Amino acid sequence: MILVWLILIPFLGGLLCWQAERWSDQAPRWIALGTMLFVLVISVVLWWGVDFSLPGGAGSQWLLEWRVPWIPRFGIEIHLALDGLSLILVALTGFLGALAVLCSWHEIADRIGFFHLNLLFILGGVVGVFLALDLFLFFLFWEMMLVPMYFLIALWGHSGSPGQTRIRAATRFFIYTQASGLLMLVAIIALVFVNFSNTGELSFSYDVLRKADVPEPLAFWLMLGFFIAFAVKLPVVPFHGWLPDAHAQAPTAGSVDLAGILLKTAAYGILRFALPLFPEQSQAFAPVAMTLGLVGIIYGAVLACGQQDIKRLIAYTSISHMGFVLIALYSGSELAIQGAIVLMVAHAFSSAGLFILSGQLYERIHTRDMRMMGGLWGRIPVLPGFTVCLVAASLGMPATANFVGEFMVLFGTFPSAPVTVVIASIGLVLAAIYSLLLMQRVHHGPAYRAGPLAGPDAREYGIMLALLVLTLAVGLYPQPLLDTTADVAAPIAELFTGSTELAVRSGEVN
Amino acid sequence: MLTLANLMAILPLIIVAATAILVMLGIAWQRHHGGTVMVSASGLVLALISMPLAISALSSPPLLTVDGLAIMGSVLVLLCALVTVALSHHYLAGYTGPKEEFYLLLLCAVTGALGLVASSHLATLFISLELLSMPLYGMLAYSFRTERSLEAGIKYLILSAAATGFMLFGMALIYARTGQLDLAGLAAGMTAGPDAWALAGASMMVVGLGFKLSIVPFHLWTPDVYQGGPAPATIFLATVSKLAVFVLLLRLTMTAPVFNNDWLNSLFTLLALITMLGGNLLALFQSDIKRLLGYSSIAHFGYLLVAIVAGGSLAAETVGVYLITYLLATLAAFGVVTRLSSPSVGEDAAGLHHYRGLFWRRPWLAAVMTVSFLSLAGIPLTAGFIGKFYVLALGVADSRWWLVGGIVAGSAIGLFYYLRVMVTLYLPAPGMRRMDATNDWGNRIGGLTLLVVAVSILVLGVYPMPIILWVSELSTIAF
């Protein structure tokens, strides 16, 4: 039942925020903050209460499970389940949700109640995605979170260059994801009907469909249906058109949610659904997926170097980082998959941090154009220091979580795809270039204008400190995270071991 | 021979027809707007209440078939008519000419629709279709002092007459081939397989019905008529008329084998594809909500045609579920337009600019509009998603990959204009005051009806089991 509450709390909180606007302007903010902290606390308590060191083979692979029939006509259930991966991502959602509320404390000044309604509905939908196990339910949440995100960008976003309005960016985001989502829906339905004609059982259940025996050419197309939906969201390079605009035009809270959580739903979807449902086809597809990942790494990094808009720059680095995740997911190595999970968490911290920083800069100098920055080091106290740290995290400096993730990804993938790893390493060099470029153009060089600017207040200070501490904590001691997700990564890696002999086990790293 | 059981089976039709006469006499005796509304609404409610009697009669009078499909169609027709009546009251209150005749026309058209969904003979089919269409001309041209309304009425009249011509010619050809006019006889008369004449007849009937359903390429009247007609008349046209004609088309394709011919099937596939794509593409840059909804309804009937192509037991269920979701969303969307418009201030509030910032003036009305547009776009947690799911499932189960691709592409295109309208509702209107206008509670019935419709869109989106059960039960009843 607690799983249902994890999903319901943000929705109820959102409705409350909407109505709370009548009382005062601050009420929705506090309610939203309380709601997200509540979700965070629940997930942390759950995490605390479970011993992940036990072998997960006993009984079910799920720590918690909840299912009731929903639409029996099609065998659709409300089936929620939680394992280590979902737990971490739900906790991350709660944490970044709270940050998103905090960072828009002063930025959003009008329609506050409705803003927080949308924000919390997104987060509720994301939690739903991480918990849903019935494919219909999963799709429902997957699509559902788009609508509030659309409103967030369209109503509270910034208009960029002429012709690139926020509504246009929001619409593009929505159409990209919705259209690809419909492909996934078609794939899901086809999978269900194939299973129905084989076994006579009409069911959208994950467990049932995993055993479905799909004839060969069809299975490949269905796998592709899932992959494209996730690839758009991740984003993988030919499908990334929506991302830079959506990020650049979104309000800070929207960018934080997009980069921090929404992109992770795609990686989660691949891990949870695309790979286990179609193991052989995924394996056959792995070289293509890895190539796409490589293209993404290089493309994102190169384009990031050329951006003038600070948020677009960070957006392109996301494409680059997600390329690493994609490579790892299709590598079939437990180590790399665990690395991907660490990298997802790390990227959530670092990119959310950078987006929040650029939001804070925007509040001070009212531009996101880096040509109109420069020399801020001397003008703003403290914030440049945080920027250095987060930029260092983003480029994968040792001792940060990003380093652990990228290292594990590259190390784990090497045995199965050495060439890929070698090329991907170029991405690390490029990461250093764009990160330092960002630092140089924003904070160093000649000052664009003179005069000191306000330093961070306690709220801003707290946000940055929390992100920094977490980045370092995961970077220095990632073991608890790895223990939690070991049960998830191992079976997925085993799906691939039919042909790839894995020499590297996570035990060697331990 | 008509028996008592026969009369019981068509009791709803008799009640509605009697109400129409009552309303007519009432108008002759004394004009009273509120009274007329009450009488019409009670007649429709009474007809709804008599529905179980009709089901339990288990018999079909000559020329009609009262089966599950007919029952489903009748219930939906009556419900939509009831909502239309509730919404018309507020709208017509601002009309300066005679108001009461609108309900008379409406009730006549409902009688026609009730007959149409049950007809199993080409004669009843034709008579009911005309009984449905004739009053519509009057309804569309009701506020005849505005140019657009008159234009809409006349345009619909002329094109509808052309369609009727096609229809009759088609019937004549089929009759010439088989010598039968009832659907069962048609089926029996063509066991040998249809020849060119029968096929030509069938395609002509499809053309005639296609006009009524505004299937591309017979859709040209739709935007103008939707835009010009007074909002309540447009609601009626978009819901009751289309629903009844579609149920009839489903019955034709299910019973008469000539419509199952391979060639006709490919024709339907083609029509479905161009309808769903054409409707959505044409809607893209509309700035008039009524025109936009007109194009969107074209697209939705394109999706529905998938059921006609696929056939089989799932198809009837799909049609039922999809129609319910479509009707709810359309009623809600047009309902909001109706609530904002009044004939006393000129043309209907259909321009997109009227809706800018609606959320900050009338939050509930805007919420209803948002829900209905989300449902039309097929976003999860609204009823529209269940409908879309059904159509996709049907397409996939039947391996109609072209149509499935069409639905996916159509929905993606459709999102663009649905989102455009939705976001307009929330943009700050120039010089707006927050929470300024309270809901106009003087028109309580209309407003409450709208809220009920919107809530049922959400409830059915979250918990669709009731309608699925109802529809699947009905689609198995055949007498």
Q: What is d(CA A362, CA B225) in angstroms, rounded to the nearest whole number?
A: 50
Q: What is d(CA A281, CA A346) in angstroms, rounded to the nearest whole number?
A: 30
- Predicted confidence (pLDDT) per residue in B301-357, tens digit: 999 999 988 877 788 889 999 999 999 999 999 998 888 887 777 777 788 888 888
For position B363, what pLDDT does the model report?
A: 82
* Helix, strand and coil percent figures for chain A, each rounded to 5: 75, 5, 25
Widest distance between CA atoms in chain A? 74
Q: Do A150 and B419 touch (CB under 8 A)?
A: yes
A–B interface: beta-carbon pairs under 8 A: 83
Banded pLDDT at A503 (limits 50, 70, 90) = very low
Q: Which of B359, B404, B468 sits opposite A73 (nearest CB)?
A: B468
For position B254, what pLDDT does the model report?
A: 83
Q: Write the DSSP string, B241-269.
A: IHHHHHHHHHHHHHH-GGGG-HHHHHHHH
Banded pLDDT at A42 (limits 50, 70, 90) = very high
Average pLDDT, chain A: 88
Chain A residues in contact with B411 (beta carbon < 8 A):
178-179, 182
Q: Do B393 and A110 touch (CB under 8 A)?
A: no
Q: Is there a contact between A277 and A209 (Cβ–Cβ < 8 Å)?
A: yes
Q: Considering only alpha carbons, which residue of chain A is nearest residue B396? A: A190
ipTM of the prediction: 0.89
For position B433, what pLDDT does the model report?
A: 46
Distance from CA of B134 to the nearest CA of A (A): 41
CA distances from residue B215 to A312, A348, B204, B278, B315 in whole angstroms, order as listed: 44, 49, 14, 9, 19
Which one-letter amino acid corresponds to residue A348?
Answer: A
Chain centroid, CA B27 distance in Å: 28
Q: Is the pTM of this model over 0.80?
A: yes
B217 touches A at CB < 8 Å: no
- Provide φ and ψ at B64, rounded to 5°: -125, 155
In the predicted model, residues of chain B with pLDDT beneath 70 are 1, 191-193, 257-258, 430-444, 478-479
Q: What is d(CA B132, CA B114) in angstroms, rounded to the nearest whole number?
A: 9
Q: Do B379 and A143 touch (CB under 8 A)?
A: yes
Mean pLDDT over A486-499 rounds to 77
Interface mutation target, options A147, A151, A188, A191, chain B, most CBs of B under 10 Å: A147
Q: Do A144 and B426 touch (CB under 8 A)?
A: no
For position B67, what pLDDT does the model report?
A: 87
For position A500, what pLDDT does the model report?
A: 43
Banded pLDDT at A504 (limits 50, 70, 90) = very low
- Predicted confidence (pLDDT) per residue in A378-409, tens digit: 888 888 899 999 999 998 888 899 999 999 99
For position A465, what pLDDT does the model report?
A: 93
- Predicted confidence (pLDDT) per residue in A2-19, tens digit: 889 999 999 999 999 988
Banded pLDDT at A51 (limits 50, 70, 90) = low
Mean pLDDT over A26-40 rounds to 92
CA angle B134, B136, B138 (to 5 degrees): 85
Q: Do A155 and B426 touch (CB under 8 A)?
A: yes
B379 touches A at CB < 8 Å: yes
The two tokens of residue B287 are 């700035």
Chain B residues in contact with A70 (beta carbon < 8 A):
463, 465
Q: What is d(CA A135, CA A127) in angstroms, rounded to the nearest whole number?
A: 15
For position B442, what pLDDT does the model report?
A: 45
Question: B154: domain range?
Answer: 4-476
Among A272, A269, A282, smallest CA distance to A214 is for A282
Alpha-carbon Rg for chain A in angstroms: 22
Interface mutation target, options A186, A192, A197, chain B, most CBs of B under 10 Å: A186
Q: What is d(CA A71, CA B472) in angstroms, rounded to the nearest whole number?
A: 13
Chain A residues in contact with B389 (beta carbon < 8 A):
136, 185, 189
> Is there a cis peptide before residue A456, judged by omega within 30 degrees of 0?
no
Q: Considering only alpha carbons, which residue of chain B is nearest residue A170? A: B419
The dihedral through the CA atoms of B255, B258, B261, B267 has a sign that is negative
CA distances from residue B291 to B167, B221, B279, B370 in whole angstroms, order as listed: 27, 11, 11, 18
B314 touches A at CB < 8 Å: no
For position A506, what pLDDT does the model report?
A: 38
Distance from CA of B427 to the nearest CA of A (A): 7
Q: Quick check: A88 pLDDT over 50?
A: yes
- Predicted confidence (pLDDT) per residue in A169-214, tens digit: 899 999 999 999 999 999 999 999 999 998 888 899 988 888 888 8
Chain A residues in contact with B381 (beta carbon < 8 A):
140, 144
Q: What is d(CA B418, CA B300) in angstroms, rounded to the nearest whole number?
A: 13
Q: Which of residues 6-65 of B touch A (CB under 8 A)?
A: none
Chain B residues in contact with A175 (beta carbon < 8 A):
412, 415-416
Number of domains in chain B: 1
- Predicted confidence (pLDDT) per residue in B399-458, tens digit: 889 999 999 999 999 999 999 899 888 887 765 544 334 455 445 677 888 899 999 999
> Is there a cis peptide before residue B343, judged by omega within 30 degrees of 0?
no
For position A60, what pLDDT does the model report?
A: 65
Tell me how crowded residue B295 is: count the other CB atoms within 10 A of its CB.
Answer: 25
